[in-house]
């Protein structure tokens, strides 16, 4: 066989391989992620901010054993959802230099630790990607995809995509309750603040839908008063912070109501509420049932409950992360993230409203 024939066979083999990998990338639906540190996969690595998770021991149980910017010992919630919907790779942080070419078709992660529904949430973290900017980036992403596959297929890719949005916790922890007599707490009573948050969130979600999103998982806040940081700083008689629990109890049901209202207006179940409060409460009320030795003490941290300050190289670090519901003072461990996604996939209507992700997948595969 001549060199030319051999190399053209190689070229054909290469082409077939390339087409094959494009097909496998296109097999799973695209996945877009918006929100805060609970879902940030590393955007803040590229920003001048103090809200970052790019040094050890973050990532200690990640496949590479290296920090990535995820606020977890290993995988975060978007990683696990991405696996569940059949993607071979999770969407990259939007700011990653590798987020180019065919990778854009997988989706993107726009989330940024420290942000909230409101622009003034997380101002202490300086340069973070606030919600309106995440949505601007979503538009920019669509223009970049259009340049590759054209406007019509881009529209289809966006319409068929799964979207996850996790935001709101910081509007309490890093705004209203950040300091005593915060500006927002002087401006609003808690019930009025919750109403204001919900009305601003509604505007963001309407813009997301207008930009083409048709299936959006919206998580509520967790039981904010029960995270190790709050147990350490303002626990009530060693228990959860009553004030933050009151905030979560007011906010979460109104969020579900607002989503139902939006769905009625649109005439389709675009928005699906994930009751992360209940999912967390399950392992806070009976950690042993889920294989945890505690849900009150963070694996990585210092001070009471390992709940004070940041998780750094100098912090206490537990030997087995799977035994802890909380990895650091605010964020669940990979094990807890897996349990949460399990409920997102197949939980009943106490957890997922109006339906779980397996039902969404089944419905959407029939439609398309």
Ligand X SMILES: *[C@@H]1O[C@H](CO)[C@@H](O)[C@H](O)[C@H]1NC(C)=O
Of positions 118, 164, 248, 259, contacts ligand X by CB under 6 A: 118
Q: Does 112 participate in catalysis according to the annotation?
A: no
Residue closest to ligand X (Cβ): 346
Residue 352 backbone phi and psi in degrees, to 5: -130, 125
Q: Buried (b) or exposed (e) across 353-362, using 16+ Cβ within 10 A?
A: beebbeebbe
Please give the size of the binding site for ligand X, defined by CB under 6 A. Answer: 11
- By beta-carbon proximity to ligand X, the closer residue of 1 and 366 is 366
Best CA proximity match to 343, nearest among 256, 276, 251, 255 = 276
Q: Does 346 participate in catalysis according to the annotation?
A: no
Q: Does 356 bind ligand X (CB under 6 A)?
A: yes
**Minimal distance in Å, beta carbon 64 to ligand X?**
31
Q: Does 359 bind ligand X (CB under 6 A)?
A: yes
Question: How far is Cα 324 from Cα 339, in angstroms, rounded to an integer?
Answer: 12
Question: How far is Cα 320 from Cα 297, in angstroms, rounded to an integer?
Answer: 13
Which x/- pattern over 174-213 shows residues binding ligand X (rule: CB under 6 A)?
A: --------------------------x-------------
Of positions 322, 346, 361, 364, contacts ligand X by CB under 6 A: 346
Of positions 146, 312, 342, 358, contacts ligand X by CB under 6 A: 358
Of positions 16, 24, 63, 132, contacts ligand X by CB under 6 A: 132
Q: Where in 37-81 does DSSP place strands (E)?
A: none
Q: Look at the block and give the residue holding tokens 């419905």.
A: 363
Q: Does 8 participate in catalysis according to the annotation?
A: no
> How far is Cα of residue 320 from the mean position of the Cα atoms in its chain?
24
Q: Does 119 bind ligand X (CB under 6 A)?
A: yes
Q: What SS3 class is residue 232?
A: helix
300-301 and 271-274 strand pairing: unpaired
Which residues sit at the interface with ligand X, rule CB under 6 A?
Answer: 118-119, 132, 200, 346, 348-349, 355-356, 358-359
Supply the residues annotated as catalytic: 37, 328, 331
């Amino acid at each position: 066989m001549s060199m030319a024939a051999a190399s053209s066979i190689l070229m054909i083999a290469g082409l077939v391989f390339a087409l094959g990998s494009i097909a496998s990338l296109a097999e799973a639906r695209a996945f877009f992620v918006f929100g805060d540190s609970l879902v940030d996969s590393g955007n803040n690595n590229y920003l001048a901010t103090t809200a970052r998770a790019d040094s050890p021991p973050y990532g200690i149980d990640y496949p590479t054993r290296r920090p990535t910017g995820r606020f977890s010992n290993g995988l975060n919630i978007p990683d696990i959802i991405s696996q569940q919907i059949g993607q071979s790779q999770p969407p990259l942080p939007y700011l990653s230099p590798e987020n180019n070419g065919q990778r854009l078709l997988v989706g993107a992660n726009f989330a940024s630790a420290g942000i909230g529904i409101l622009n003034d949430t997380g101002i202490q973290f300086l340069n973070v990607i606030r919600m309106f900017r995440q949505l601007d980036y979503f538009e920019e992403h669509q223009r970049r995809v259009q340049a590759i596959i054209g406007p019509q297929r881009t529209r289809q890719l966006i319409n068929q995509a799964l979207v996850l949005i996790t935001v709101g916790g910081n509007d309490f922890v890093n705004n209203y309750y950040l300091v005593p007599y915060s500006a927002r707490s002087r401006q609003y009573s808690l019930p009025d603040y919750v109403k204001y948050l919900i009305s601003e969130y509604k505007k963001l979600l309407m813009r997301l839908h207008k930009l083409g999103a048709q299936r959006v998982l919206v998580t509520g806040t967790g039981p904010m008063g029960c995270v190790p940081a709050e147990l350490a700083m303002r626990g009530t008689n060693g228990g959860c912070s009553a004030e933050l629990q009151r905030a979560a109890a007011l906010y979460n049901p109104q969020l579900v109501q607002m989503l139902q209202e939006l769905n009625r207006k649109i005439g389709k179940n675009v928005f699906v509420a994930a009751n992360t409060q209940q999912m967390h409460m399950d392992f806070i009320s009976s950690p042993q049932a889920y294989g945890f030795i505690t849900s009150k003490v963070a694996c990585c941290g210092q001070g009471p409950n390992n709940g004070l300050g940041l998780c750094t190289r100098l912090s206490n670090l537990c030997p087995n992360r799977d035994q802890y519901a909380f990895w650091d003072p605010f964020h669940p461990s990979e094990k807890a993230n897996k349990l949460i996604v399990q409920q997102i996939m197949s939980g009943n209507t106490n957890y997922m409203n109006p339906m779980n992700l397996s039902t969404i997948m089944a419905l959407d595969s029939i439609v398309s």
